[in-house]
Amino acid sequence: MSGASAVPAELKVTLLQHTPLPERAVASAGRLCYAPVSAAELKEVMSEDDVRRLVRGLVRSGHMSALEHAGFTFAIDGISRACSHQLVRHRVASYSQQSQRYVRFGSEGGFVVPPHIAASPEEYAVFQEAMENARRSYERLVELGLAEGRGNESVFEDARFVLPNAAETKVVVTMNARELRHFFALRCCRRAQWEISRLAWTMRHLVCSVAPLLFEGSGPGCMIGGCPEGKMSCGRSYTDEEIDAMELDRFVGDVG
């Protein structure tokens, strides 16, 4: 079997949609709690300065429930099953994931390669062989199952058991602004696993471009005044130069 069968998967994250005027929606919701008029009226009459002041005030005071009114939906391609298992632990979110039961893991399905393994020719050779063996075993099980006259669903749901954690998957996820800030605080941290950290930084990059006020000061604790990791702290705060060096635009998918 050729090495092409174990093609490396590449992360791509697309912001599919979000609440229209998300910062104004949040400001309207927050202001409504203390206003005698409707949120619809507030949304129309608030100036940009009002919105800025209100959003910053909500975050500063910890009135985070208002941020739940702004939602963001992402299409995530090229992550591993190991990463998706971590992602879905964030339960205040909605997920739709490509099924290995109904979708054949075919020629377009790749495997996510850890950077340290990719950087070592010897380790990469071992990894590549393992991925090729997994794909070969999967294809053989599919071939045998179909030859028995079993349906695709039955065949695929059994054959997938030989696929590794590295197998690529695709996910659509929707989170509100409050949950995203929590997600970034945990997963942008240096102590987070490298793949979900890369995903989190890319998602943060996307939402900061459309709602900078809502995500001002978001990220790991070291960027917002203090690390919560205690004795487990790495002691190394992120710098703007490090974030720029991530070149996050390369992980951003095309918007249709």
- Give DSSP secondary structure letters for 159-207: HGGG--TTBEEEEEEEEEHHHHHHHHHHHSSTTS-HHHHHHHHHHHHHH
pLDDT exceeds cutoff 90 at 49: yes
What's 74's DSSP letter? E
Q: Quick check: is 218 in a domain?
A: yes
Say whether both 156 and 200 belong to one domain: no
Q: Quick check: is 65 in a domain?
A: yes
Q: Quick check: is 108 in a domain?
A: no
Say whether both 135 and 234 belong to one domain: no
pLDDT in tens, 178-206: 999 999 999 999 999 999 999 999 999 99
Q: Which helix (DSSP H) or strand (DSSP E) does residue 27 occupy? A: helix 22-32
Say whether both 184 and 93 belong to one domain: yes
pLDDT in tens, 89-148: 999 999 999 999 999 997 666 999 999 999 999 999 999 999 999 999 999 999 999 999
- The lowest-confidence range among 1-5, 16-20, 238-242 is 1-5
Say whether both 214 and 233 belong to one domain: yes
Q: Which residue range is the domain that position 154 belongs to?
A: 114-166
Q: Quick check: is 201 in a domain?
A: yes
- The domain that holds 235 is classified in CATH as 3.30.1360.170
The number of domains in the chain is 2
Categorize the per-residue pLDDT at 240 as very low, low, confident or very high, splitting at 50, 70 and 90: confident
Say whether both 48 and 30 belong to one domain: yes
Say whether both 131 and 35 belong to one domain: no
Categorize the per-residue pLDDT at 221 as very low, low, confident or very high, splitting at 50, 70 and 90: confident
Residue that wins the pLDDT comparison between 89 and 36: 89
**What integer is the mean pLDDT of 35-43?**
84
Treating both helix axes as pointing N-terminal to C-terminal, what angle do 121-147 and 152-159 enclose, rounded to 10 degrees? Answer: 150
- The lowest-confidence range among 150-154, 185-189, 194-198, 230-234 is 230-234
**What SS3 state is found at 80?**
strand
Say whether both 179 and 240 belong to one domain: yes
Task: Give the residue numbers annotated as catalytic, written as ranges.
Answer: 187
Residue that wins the pLDDT comparison between 37 and 5: 37
Say whether both 126 and 139 belong to one domain: yes
Quote the pLDDT of residue 104. 94
Which of 196, 35, 205 lies closest to 112, judged by CA? 196
Say whether both 160 and 178 belong to one domain: no
Q: Quick check: is 49 in a domain?
A: yes
pLDDT exceeds cutoff 90 at 3: no
The Cα–Cα gap between 138 and 135 comes to 5
pLDDT exceeds cutoff 90 at 254: no
pTM of the model: 0.92
pLDDT exceeds cutoff 80 at 154: yes
Name residue 175's beta-bridge partners: 72
Categorize the per-residue pLDDT at 222 as very low, low, confident or very high, splitting at 50, 70 and 90: confident
pLDDT exceeds cutoff 90 at 164: yes
* Residues comprising the chain, all counted: 256
Say whether both 202 and 160 belong to one domain: no
Say whether both 43 and 125 belong to one domain: no
Q: Quick check: is 102 in a domain?
A: no
Say whether both 178 and 158 belong to one domain: no
**What SS3 state is found at 78?**
strand
**What SS3 state is found at 153?**
helix
Q: Do 191 and 227 form a contact (C-beta atoms < 8 A)?
A: no
Quote the pLDDT of residue 4. 43
Quote the pLDDT of residue 33. 87
pLDDT exceeds cutoff 70 at 5: no
